[in-house]
Amino acid sequence: MNAENQEIMQQIISQNQRLLQNLNTQRHCSCEVRQLVSEIIGDPVADTIEIQLPFYSDYGRNIKLGERVFINANVMMVDLGGITIEDDVLIGPGAYLISVNHQLDPHHRKELELKPVLIKKNAWIGAKATILPGVTVGENAVVAAGAVVTKDVPANTVVAGMPAKVIKKIG
């Protein structure tokens, strides 16, 4: 990444942190929450989206939200690598969606590895679940509370555990 792009990215991160501080420390009605989140992500947030505070992100601009999404309190989105949340998704309190990792090689440890996270329609991410970089959670899938998801989750399944494994098929 060249110096100019790095400076732009740092400006966005600084603006995001100011907006998040305002969002999480002031009283806001739901329309104000959606407006502030719109500024954080750089796209309009639909009136059908509900976000419980506090809400956290590191970058903000790489979050895409569908319609009728519910994000519970204390959710963290590490989105530099991209996070897409499709329609009708539920995200439980304290969940982590992470699209960034570091290299294993000690000589390159400070280099970032970006891999997008995709949460498909009607999925449910349980409380304190962690979705790691590069994971797609399939349509109608359920990630159990506290699960650590390291691999894609098939549609219409329930995953649980650390690392998460399919424990049930739905429908």
Q: Give catalytic residue positions.
A: 102
Tokens 């009283």 found at: 27
Among residues 48, 60, 66, the alpha carbon closest in space to that of 21 is found at 60
Q: Tell me whether the omega of the peptide bond preceding residue 163 falls within 30 degrees of 0, making it cis.
A: yes
Question: Measured between alpha carbons, how far is 34 from 40 in angstroms, rounded to an integer?
Answer: 10
CA 33 to chain centre: 17
CA 64 to chain centre: 9
User: What's the DSSP call for residue 52?
Assistant: P
Residue pair 40/54 in contact by the 8 Å Cβ criterion: no
